[in-house]
Amino acid sequence: MNVLGIETSCDDSSAAVVVDGRTVRSCVTSSQDSFHRRFGGVVPEIASRAHMEAIDVVCADALEQAGLTPAQIDAVAVTNGPGLVGSLLVGVGFAKGFAYTRGLPFLGVNHLEGHIAAAFLDSEAPTFPFVALVVSGGHSHLYEVVDFFRMRLLGQTVDDAAGEAFDKAAKLLGLGFPGGPAIDRAAQQGDPAACRLPRPMLHSDDLAMSFSGLKTAIRRLIEDAGGLAGLSTPDLAASFQAAVVDVLVGKALAALERTGIPRLVICGGVSANRRLREQAAAACNRRGMALTVPAPAYCTDNAAMIAAAGYRRLAAGERSALTLNGYASLAEAPR
């Protein structure tokens, strides 16, 4: 089944063609970073307008790169939440039009399910059940994933998401937007042990996480030094990154222990982080646990993961009606 996936939940306009939820024939993503950079974050109104301009181009490119005509597409999957409503509606509207005019089945997909389905793209697929650590700009969640359709929330951040913490820390460090990749890059030249930073909730007796205190700790370090001038930005970036990664890996290991499941998947934009990938691999290796992290291009928002998640449900007969809407939180969506 050739599924056209469409993702416009935040600031990336992406379209992809994926065969049977595994083989990526094409994945075209148009980043809006240059539009949002001067505002230091994603401006929702700008994001939806940029999606409007990009959506037909990325879809046409995805078909062309896949070497397929629209007539060779079997179904359409589109993110319909959670995300920025104005952004979501651009993808949902386009998907409806594409599917309706060609009489194709189409389906709204949960963005988080998409991030988890990225683990099944191209590489060796993880075995169910597994523990998934979903770390992105909006989420730091641990799930027990039973199969493609069932997952149980084990724990989540009580304040900022990990990606949000990266973005806010990068702003304080003057590293610009988007912050995660900037900290990852700066940290390459820094010493992760240079600044003493807390590991919030690492030893709390649960699977909750907290990242806003780390951002405050960075702000204090800068204030105490009388500004950034006297500090090493690479050292601060490396120390901050090490603290976040210690907490994420520690909590993921605690979830594996609690559930007794020896398989971990890490996904979402933050899973592109080099230190997180290295530390998680080393920790799982030591314990004989299996680890799957998608290729970096499938960690950050992309439409291939949406096509992969949509495929499983479409193959099981699920369909969305043409009344499908976009939702900031899928808890608001009618069932």
The whole-angstrom separation of Cα 84 and Cα 42 is 10
Question: Per CB under 5 A, does 136 bind Zn ion?
Answer: yes
Interface with Zn ion by CB under 5 A: which range of 46-54, 76-84, 130-138, 222-230?
A: 130-138
Q: For ligand KG4, which is the closer residue by CB, 200 or 268? A: 268
Partner from Zn ion, ligand KG4, none binding residue 80, C-beta < 5-8 Å depending on class? none
Residues contacting 44, CB < 8 A, separation 6+: 84, 86, 87
DSSP state of 149: T
CA-nearest of 105, 114, 103 to 14 is 114
Q: For ligand KG4, which is the closer residue by CB, 211 or 311? A: 211
The whole-angstrom separation of Cα 140 and Cα 30 is 25
Query: CB of residue 245 vs ligand KG4: minimum separation in angstroms?
Result: 9
Site string for Zn ion, 226-245 (x = CB under 5 A): --------------------
Partner from ligand KG4, Zn ion, none binding residue 178, C-beta < 5-8 Å depending on class? ligand KG4
Binding site for ligand KG4 (CB under 6 A): 10, 136-138, 163-164, 166-167, 178-181, 184, 268-270, 272-273, 300-301
The whole-angstrom separation of Cα 70 and Cα 227 is 56
Partner from ligand KG4, Zn ion, none binding residue 138, C-beta < 5-8 Å depending on class? ligand KG4
Partner from Zn ion, ligand KG4, none binding residue 82, C-beta < 5-8 Å depending on class? none
- Report the side by side order of strands in the sheet with 106-110: 23-31, 12-19, 2-7, 75-81, 106-110
Cα–Cα separations (whole angstroms), residue 218 to 233, 306, 331: 11, 35, 34
Residues that bind Zn ion (CB under 5 A): 136, 301
